[in-house]
Amino acid sequence: MDIKDNDRYKMFNRRAAMMSVGGLGVMGTLFGRLYYIQVLEEETYKGLADKNSVRLEKLAPVRGRIYDRFGTELASNQSNFRLVLVPGQTQDIEQALDNLGEVIEVSDGRRERVLKAAKRSRRFSAVTVMENLEWEDFAKVNIRTPDLGGITPEAGVTRDYPFDSDLSHIVGYVAAPNESEIDEDEILSLPGMRIGKDGVERFIEAELRGQSGNRQVEVNAYGRVIRELKREDSTPGKDVILTLDMELQSYAMKRMEGESGAAVVMDIHTGDLLALASVPGFDPNDFNLGLSQDTWDGLRNNKYKPLLNKAIKGQYPPGSTVKTIMALAALEAGVMSPWESVYCGGVTRLGNHDFHCWKDHGPVNMRTAIKESCDVYFYELAQRLGIDRIQSICNRFGLGQVFDFGLPGEKSGVVPSRGWKIANIGEPWQQGETLIAAIGQGFMLANPLQLAVMTARLANGGKAVEPRLIRAVGSEAMDIVAPPSMGFDQSQLQVILDGMNAVSNRAGGTAYGSRIWEKGMELAGKTGTSQVRRITAAERAAGIIKNEDLPWERRDHALFVAFAPVDNPRYAISVFVEHGGGGSKAAAPIARDIMHKTLIKDPSKRRAIGPVAQTMKAPSPATEEG
């Protein structure tokens, strides 16, 4: 070997040695790292691996059911075949929807909603694709599930309202939560979740919804569930029992069919609402399943306002129905006696204004004025009574109040006063406004529930009973509080009740044509007709245009309130017919028929379901003072 070859050999050996040392260093670092991960940090990385393979999922609760007082199911749960999509389980959501479209129809609108929802949701949170599928479509999807990449069929439950429009304003309805509601409670993002949007469903949403559960599942690298590791079941919502009698409710709705208005039937001692009808209604199932635009437009643009619960949210002049409590206020204040006579010539003059009566009654006393609904008598009464006492008696009988009895959205109406007019109109009170307030016109507004409460308080001996709709929630019965006395002289109250009896059961009474003939079932009532327009002098000179000759929107409202039986009162009723014309013609016959049905059924005497009937609690001292 020459010198040059020897130098090359030595250089090669040095380079080989350096490469060996470098390789050994790299291998040592690699093995050191593996030792660190697998031995020294074993527990840490083992835990991380477990977390990656275990997922916690929320479980939706089953919504509580709603019943009437006798066990008729008013809101129930039925099978809901649906499809859900987990975005993290597919690489192409649009392709997954295309594949689904080859099995069942997927509209462009639905496709757009799913894509939008998928972008907002978490990677492994389920997004609803379709709900309430027919069994045939659900079965088709089940067969093709392996080809649908991330779309999974599920069998859940959905809300069902078997009585459709008969209960739309009471039970209300559920619908999918909006984004702001989901942000407040993550459980609402689960497929199929619904929340109460109106009625009882909304009023006691928390109790009906229940509590969510959860489960731990092991998933593979694609997010598919391999097995369930642990489960904590959800707590179903509580069942709710209402005071309603469903048979009576359906009858009231049927009897008012074709009208726009409301009817309220109430137990005068317990406050139980036995019927709370508002017509027309709507089908609450449409809101749960999804309203079409045509259906929504039809509801919103209907002049009879089917979405408005007229029994508690409608505000109307109560008309002559309030003459009963005006007369009682006059007796209590000592400004009129029952036997004092006032002459009615058909008009009262005050300053430069004439205040008319609907006819010339001649001389009338208090009983006759109630029986024949004489306005002139009550104009005189109003001047002696004054607006302050009128306001006070209205408030004591429930007008101008919100009872918070089991439904959201109650309106208080208006009981006008000096302070109210200054605050709302910016003008001082005028004496003429006192006159028309005494006959339930002018600024005064009330809803049919308030008029039923007013009538119940008259019929039960002057006790401040309040309405109630919810009888029990789960195993807890709602207490019945004994209504406190309002302190009226019973002999004075009897004068008013005798006048109401004459309205219905004496010839010449404004509702004599709508009396109940069966002995022991007689009702006592008061008609009311409230104007929605001002009658001009020219119209009066021409004999006044009849309601039936006017467009519907310009006709008077018709009202009637009553209690029965006369000799031993148990039930009160109020009926309001929007633009119905006269109370004696439009409202009284409806009230008679509904009350007759109530008396035949006599629901207060039948055993109701649920927790053991509560004993009547005595009112607290604070309540007693009121």
First to last CA, the chain: 126
User: Helix, strand, or coil here: 468?
Assistant: strand
**Contact yes or no for 161/284 (Cβ under 8 A):** yes
| Cα distance between residue 183 and residue 179, in whole Å | 6
Query: Alpha carbon 395 to chain centroid distance?
Result: 24
**Contact yes or no for 580/571 (Cβ under 8 A):** no
Task: Tell me which H or E stretch contains 277.
Answer: strand 273-279
Place of tokens 């670092």: 29
Q: Which residues of 67-104 are buried (b: 16+ CB within 10 A; e: fewer)?
A: bbbbebbbbebeebbbbbbbbbbbeebeebbebbeebb
Q: How many CB atoms lie within 10 A of CB 452?
A: 31
Q: What is the DSSP letter of 76?
A: E
**Contact yes or no for 276/469 (Cβ under 8 A):** yes
Looking at the DSSP bridge assignments, the partners of residue 559 are 528, 576
* CA-wise closest residue to 390 among 322, 485, 321, 296: 322
**Catalytic residue (choose from 278, 320, 514, 574):** 320
Q: Can 584 be counted among the known catalytic residues?
A: no
Interacting residues of 527 by C-beta distance below 8 A, sequence separation 6+: 320, 321, 373, 503, 510, 511, 559, 560, 582, 583, 584, 587, 588
Q: How many CB atoms lie within 10 A of CB 442?
A: 17
Residues carrying an active site annotation: 320
